[in-house]
Structure 1
Amino acid sequence: MLHVFVLRWKLIIALALPVLCFIVHKARSPVTSDASMSPPSSPASVASSLLASKGLQLQSIKTIQSLWAGYGHICHLIASPNVSPSSSTQTSPSASTSNSNASTPQESQSFILKLITPPIIKGQDEGHARKILSYQVEQYFYSELAPLLPPSIPVATCFASVNEHHPNGTSTTAMILSDLRPQYPVAGERRESLSKGQVFAALDWLSGFHGFWWPRLRDMDRSLLVRAPLDEIQQENYSEKKKKNTVWLNGGYTYLGTRRKEYRSLASDYDSEWNTPLTEWEDGDNSISEMVANVLAPRESGWGPTEQYQTLIHGDVKSENLFTTVSGDRVAFYDFQYVGLGLGVCDLAKLFTCSVPLEMLVEDSVIPSELAMQSGEKALLERYWIRLKEVSGKEYNWDIFVLHWETALIDWLRFQASWGFWGNTAWLEARGRHVLKNESWKENVVRNWAYSQGGTKS
């Protein structure tokens, strides 16, 4: 009996040993499950690596803010020359331009790190795709386009950047930018409105930016530009295009092609004042909102009603996205995630609604139900329009400019009505009611829309 008992225990041990070895091996091996992949690179490690490539070493890092929905961080860096014996790379005063506050190699320098480490989201999520594409667009702008701008249009200088896609599906996009704050120490923040001097400075920056790019758009290969998020990721050659980051074909993030969900919500909201004028059929199966969007939209190829007036727009113009000098006479914009093609007045529509003091637009604080253009609004537009023509060297008939301006206002009104109002709401709605009742304006929109559908240009 004892012999049988020993044999049974030997058999049990023989069978159990491989299982125990497997368990021990798994405990000692790196975990590779989706739930515990390698953690995203820390801001400090990314900053140190990028700075080292330029012969600098990180002295301190402080998180300024987190990006929307946990997609990354914006940090302030202090760096100094790497003087270790193993350092073979030396910095140079030419590493920064007049837009940068970086000084000499012997001094500490101040930088901004923008680090994007997005979560992995499966499936075609439009919001996620929009964010990912927008960060790639911004990196392209700072790396390739910003260096072309003259000193009169100040933006941050990209000192170093990286864009990596990892086998586990994660990615790391990072830029080290010059710190604008020493030269432009006043942040726009969430004040909703700028001072009078800051408004003039913002208009001058925008007219300069739009005017600079207007005659240069012909050099862009539009087939490489980034389309609406879901359209972009569904392309057969998307993975190849992803390697060639460019700007948006349609600048901004509020145009109808990327806001269909909100538009459908407005179209089904029969309690909204804007349901009927903005979403009901105006011509065949198309609403005035759809025709307006079509008139404003840049094309990859072929003719468009506003084609000859399109430029590169910032895409998210508001006080929170600029710094100013103490006197408020100069500004520098940042946050170029939605830079792309469009009419300059599309940038102005958001600026006027969200950041311009109401008293600069209207003569009376009591806003009537319908409102024509007031002298204050006209003066601001004229300031922008005159300088836009001077910088671009192009002609822009005033009546056509106003037509474009009011069309951009209706497009912006459509977004706010479907997403939520903020800013100079009473002014925007009153202007919208006036424009929508202007038969001459409506006839122009319908006619241009019809031409774009295959009609003959007059």
Structure 2
Amino acid sequence: MSESVNPKLVHYVSQLLDDPSISDCQLLQTLWSGYGQCFRFHSQQYDLSLVAKVVTPSTTPGHPKGWSNDQSHQRKLQSYAVEQYFYQHYAPMCHASVPALIAGTRHHDDFITVLEDLDAQHFRHRHTNLTVTQCEGVLNWLALFHADFIEIAPTGLWKQGAYWHLSTRQAEFEAMAEGPLKTAAKGIDEVLQQASIKTLLHGDAKVANFCFADDPREVAAVDFQYTGAGVGVIDVAYFLGSALSAQDQLHYSQQCLDVYFTALSKALTQRGYDSQPVVKQWRQLYPFACADFLRFLQGWSPVHWKINRYLTEQSQQALSLLKG
């Protein structure tokens, strides 16, 4: 029997919206490690289809990969606070499409975030993988998002965006097998963190967090739990690894990077910002972004399907650059 929406969570949302007539509840997903549910519903009060993300952490959270500890729990709670803050304070500034916040509240470790339904805004398609051509819409979205927040301080967000950076993944680092990447991990992290030009990262830019219109060039994004400062290619490297096959990564990643940087240059120029230093610096940092993600994977799940020839080759390039 398939899981249904928890009536208690529906009641919480009903109270927040002052809407006793919530109906047509449809479970979209159970949150990672059983922290709550995300569901679609119809609000009579607003006469709209809306989406609620309700976080009510279990007292005994269970991580699918076994990484359950207090640090992980606190990181997850902070991520929900960051996401709500993003929708409240940053989403209204986005030219890249994101859902609008309808209502949000927090009580201790519980969070309710109610958003407009992207399906109702014509972003009704989801994908688990993409062709090279289909990637262009997301790469354009990332370019626009990164241009929107170029050199913006991450107030209320993560000081470092993305969920796998070294300082927050010490347990996984300790679990890594000894080798050149583990030895160089701190140096790779320092190269990325010392970049002189940063933006806000989406922070979890996997293909599953993008919603597509009938025209795949029209894209919106969700899930801003790990938004914070960083170089834009961190998002790009993570996205391409989630969307493209191993063979397409080998043959078309450079083409995809060109699409991203062309769109980024255009968006920055439209904002009166000199794009050349950004493009030059971030292109050079792309192998380091790949190596940093591989470092996380090797400690977190060393047989993960995302560990492939292309990611390994990019990481080797970063190691060579680090040696000078």
TM-score by length of 1: 0.62
Shift of 1:399: 4.5
2-side partners of 1:259 and 1:306: how far apart? 20
- For 1:132, what is the secondary structure of its paired residue? helix
For the pair 1:125 / 2:70, whether they are aligned, the reply is yes
Shift of 1:359: 4.5
For the pair 1:356 / 2:239, whether they are aligned, the reply is no
Aligned pair partner of 2:160 in 250, 253, 264: 250
Bigger-Rg structure (1/2): 1
Show the counterpart of 1:404. Answer: 285
- Name whichever of 352-361 and 384-393 sits farther off: 352-361
- For 1:154, what is the secondary structure of its paired residue? coil
CA contact (8 A) 1:64 1:76 kept: yes
Cα gap change, 1:251 to 1:80, in 2 (>3 Å): same
- For 1:312, what is the secondary structure of its paired residue? strand
Aligned pair partner of 1:341 in 199, 209, 229: 229
- For 1:350, what is the secondary structure of its paired residue? helix
Show the counterpart of 2:14. Answer: 48
Give 2:78's aligned amino acid: L
Show the counterpart of 1:112. Answer: 51
For the pair 1:296 / 2:192, whether they are aligned, the reply is yes
For the pair 1:187 / 2:126, whether they are aligned, the reply is yes
Larger RCO, structures 1/2 (Cα 8 Å, 6+ apart): 2
2-side partners of 1:111 and 1:400: how far apart? 40
For the pair 1:140 / 2:81, whether they are aligned, the reply is no
* Structure 2 residues without counterparts, runs of 5 or longer: 1-5, 62-68
Cα gap change, 1:405 to 1:434, in 2 (>3 Å): closer
For the pair 1:159 / 2:102, whether they are aligned, the reply is yes
Shift of 1:56: 7.8
For the pair 1:384 / 2:265, whether they are aligned, the reply is no
Shift of 1:143: 1.2
2-side partners of 1:362 and 1:334: how far apart? 28
For the pair 1:431 / 2:314, whether they are aligned, the reply is yes
Shift of 1:405: 0.7
**Deviations along 1:347-370, whole A, 9 cap, x unmatched?**
11111212123444334xxxxxxx
**Deviations along 1:39-71, whole A, 9 cap, x unmatched?**
x9911211211222xx78423323222112221
CA contact (8 A) 2:233 2:283 kept: no
Cα gap change, 1:401 to 1:70, in 2 (>3 Å): closer
State the aligned residue count.
304
Show the counterpart of 1:84. Answer: none
**Deviations along 1:70-101, whole A, 9 cap, x unmatched?**
211111111113xxxxxxxxxxxxxxxxxxxx
Show the counterpart of 2:149. Answer: 213
1-side partners of 2:217 and 2:209: how far apart? 16
Cα gap change, 1:121 to 1:56, in 2 (>3 Å): closer
Aligned pair partner of 2:209 in 309, 315, 321: 321
2-side partners of 1:382 and 1:62: how far apart? 39
* Structure 1 residues without counterparts, runs of 5 or longer: 1-39, 82-104, 166-170, 226-245, 270-274, 280-286, 298-304, 364-375, 445-458
Shift of 1:325: 1.2
* Alignment RMSD: 2.3
CA contact (8 A) 2:187 2:322 kept: no
CA contact (8 A) 2:55 2:110 kept: yes
Show the counterpart of 1:232. Answer: none
Cα gap change, 1:57 to 1:143, in 2 (>3 Å): farther
For the pair 1:78 / 2:42, whether they are aligned, the reply is yes
Show the counterpart of 1:442. Answer: 322
Shift of 1:264: 1.2
Shift of 1:288: 1.5
Cα gap change, 1:164 to 1:385, in 2 (>3 Å): same
Cα gap change, 1:396 to 1:413, in 2 (>3 Å): farther
Shift of 1:416: 1.4
1-side partners of 2:209 and 2:71: how far apart? 24
- For 2:23, what is the secondary structure of its paired residue? strand
Shift of 1:247: 0.6
Cα gap change, 1:132 to 1:149, in 2 (>3 Å): same
Give 1:119's aligned amino acid: S
For the pair 1:60 / 2:60, whether they are aligned, the reply is no
TM-score by length of 2: 0.87
2-side partners of 1:56 and 1:347: how far apart? 40
Shift of 1:120: 4.1
